[in-house]
Amino acid sequence: MKRNLIYPISLVGWLPAATLALDLTANIDVESDYSTNSKQTPTNEVEEWIHRPGFNVGATHSTPSLTLDANYEFERRFYQEDSFEDENATTGRATLLWNALPHRLDFTVSNSRTETPIESIDPNTPNNRQVVSNTLAGPILRFRTRGDDELQLQYLNGDRSNEVTGNDSTTHDLTARYKLVTSTTNELAFEAISRQTEYDDPLTPELEATVGQVIWTRSANDLELSVMGGYNQSEHDLGREDVDGSIYDLSLDWQARPNTAISIAAVRAIGDQTSALSSGTPEFSENFNNLLSTTSELSTFPGKKSASRK
């Protein structure tokens, strides 16, 4: 069982849009979790509070030629019963888009810092977590074909670094995309992607993946729906195992009421574990709470006894 308490402390102001057209925000909060088994072990369970003071900064900028959206958070975690050492974590994401030639050529740069398990089959505890930083940059060529329909050709160069493990890598993505606008709220995209991953460690096999997928999105005032289906064929060199199979990604965000939001997600993916390839969906008992959640002033989640209050 796990309970959440969040105490917002302050909200710091912003630069007026009239000066630099750059909005800056900052806030401080303290979140406390109570867990009946913080080590996630079948025996010798530890009950404790985990206190997490944090500091969040954000920046947004929007002009016809340049768009910026960034948000990062620093968090310190204190374990009341010292089940783990106190730890720091900095996570977030930023995206910069430059419209060099309107409707013809864009350049994009993005960065994300996320916490991920070191060993995906083991419990998600502090000694099995690391921060992964992923930076992508590249151009997008755009060709209008009919009305708002568009053909896009994109190249992205990526740099991925891992806080703990030594499997840093460089990626090269080539994407051909055709976007078909069917209405003011619906869009259909057809994508063909070729991805090459090169690892800094010469003993780690390189990965080549070819992906074909179709994405349908619907955007309304209180509803965001995205459905993707496709096929992934991934190949390792150095005689390592190859994997191919179908993939899908479903996400739904519905603002049912002013204080109630419902989010649903289901994913089947083929991912690289550097020494092998894996495919499949998360185990229901372990990860269902990540796939279906309802948040409001007081919410409960199926699959696990939990409650959160904001």
User: Could you tell me the CATH number of the domain that includes residue 230?
Assistant: 2.40.160
Provide the residue range defining the domain that includes 102. Answer: 63-70+87-309
Domain annotation covers residue 28: no
Domain annotation covers residue 44: no
The string of pLDDT tens digits covering residues 25-75 is 999 988 898 998 888 888 888 999 999 999 999 999 999 999 999 999 999
Q: What is the three-class DSSP state of 291?
A: helix
Q: What is the pLDDT of residue 241?
A: 74
Domain annotation covers residue 13: no
pLDDT band of residue 118 (cuts 50, 70, 90) is confident
The Cα–Cα gap between 49 and 44 comes to 16
Domain annotation covers residue 207: yes
Average pLDDT over residues 149-169: 91
The string of pLDDT tens digits covering residues 208-239 is 999 999 999 999 888 999 999 999 999 877 66
Average pLDDT over residues 117-145: 89
* pTM metric for this prediction: 0.74
Query: DSSP string covering 93-126, please?
Result: EEEEEEEEETTTEEEEEEEEEEEEESSTTS---G
Domain annotation covers residue 45: no
Indicate the number of domains in the chain: 1
Domain annotation covers residue 151: yes
Domain annotation covers residue 208: yes
The Cα–Cα gap between 28 and 12 comes to 9
Domain annotation covers residue 212: yes
